[in-house]
Amino acid sequence: MDNSDVIHSHNGRTISSNSELSSGDFIEAYCKDTLVHRGDVTDIAPNHELFWIQDVLTGGRRLLDIAELEIRKPARAHLSF
């Protein structure tokens, strides 16, 4: 069985600008291909390419910078941990 489409759908779509985000979007943030943050977007600072999430990995609110991390919108529904 070919799993290439499963792997692709898991990775989702890479976000390059805040204009692609909306409050409530679920995102994952990666640093060097390591998942470091995951959660729902709560606020967006559009002129600075910054946004806040409620991180389900740490339980805290995090300010993320699109220039510093690879931001992905997973293709599948997320599971909260």
**Please, are residues 36 and 30 in contact by the beta-carbon 8 Å criterion?**
yes
pLDDT at 2: 35
How does pLDDT run across 16-41, given as a tens digit for each residue?
A: 999 999 999 999 999 999 999 999 99
Q: What are the structural domains, with CATH classification, of the chain?
A: 4-73 (2.30.30.520)
Query: pTM of this prediction?
Result: 0.77
**CA nearest to 50, candidates 39, 33, 63, 40:** 63
